[in-house]
Amino acid sequence: MARKIGVIGGSGVYDIDGLEGAEWRSVDTPWGAPSDQILTGRLNGAEMAFLPRHGRGHVHSPSTVPYRANIDALKRLGCTDVVAVSACGSFREEMAPGDFVVVDQFIDRTFAREKSFFGTGCVAHVSVAHPTCPRLSAACLTAGRAAGITMHDGGTYLAMEGPQFSTLAESKLYREVWGCDVIGMTNMPEAKLAREAELCYASIAMVTDYDSWHPDHGAVDISDIVAILTGNADKARNLITRLPALLGAPAPCADGCDRALDHAILTAPSKRDPAVVARLDAVAGRVL
């Protein structure tokens, strides 16, 4: 099986430069339409698929992003690895606006989203103890540093529902009590769904602001965020162009991301709802 890199672009990252044979493709999924068409092509010899998470022109809020359709569509196109980039606030002085953080943990505080492909008719439980792929994350870290980006290795991402930014009390709680490093609105349930779909997943948090905890920076201001987003988008594209050479030839994931469903499905074969199983053809066809 050939390696194919899927990229989910966050706020401000709506395309990738330099794709050979670039084509915007519509993909139908049992979970509805993805956020947008998917830009496919080749980049430095590797097959790529790029999906703007909010849609071109930023039409989806964090709560209305069709997360299941997005992950299904990338899997359906043959993606093996997914790199998610997203704008985030920082809880750490040293993680400054313009820096990137390679996230390795999440705290999920979202509540208005469908979080699983599975349910009544076909029940499954996957482990997300380590929700990102160490190999893919390491490649992103190396690519970012080679591109001259200030990269931070590891961090806990607080996923909030939004669309409003944090209150000061929430910001202090997440930073001082829970020990989070960055805050965003879109990596959950995305990371959980990627694990259910047996995709290697890496999360790159592009810091735009200090949330509301910082005594010298005041409340989050959207105009300031937009200014940082522009620079971050260019950095993200530069990072992505370096990934194909670092990832190399396809191989089984050493951490088992591509085998997450081996022992996850609990519903007996005779009790599985055929309609539910049919809907899982791309996500779980390997085991169903």
**Beta carbons of 209 and 97 less than 8 angstroms apart:** yes
Which is catalytic among the residues 72, 104, 108, 211?
A: 211
User: CA 27 to CA 20: how far, in whole Å?
Assistant: 20
273 is catalytic: no
Which is catalytic among the residues 209, 234, 262, 281?
A: 209
CA distance readout (Å), 236 to 55, 64, 71, 103, 265: 17, 24, 20, 15, 36
Helix (H) or strand (E) holding 256: none
State the CB neighbour count (10 A cutoff) for residue 123: 15
CA neighbours within 13 Å on the CB side: how many for 147? 24
211 is catalytic: yes
Q: Which two tokens stand for residue 236?
A: 């993200």
Residue 117 burial class via C-beta count within 10 angstroms: exposed 0-12, middle 13-18, buried 19 and up: buried
Active site residues per annotation: 209, 211
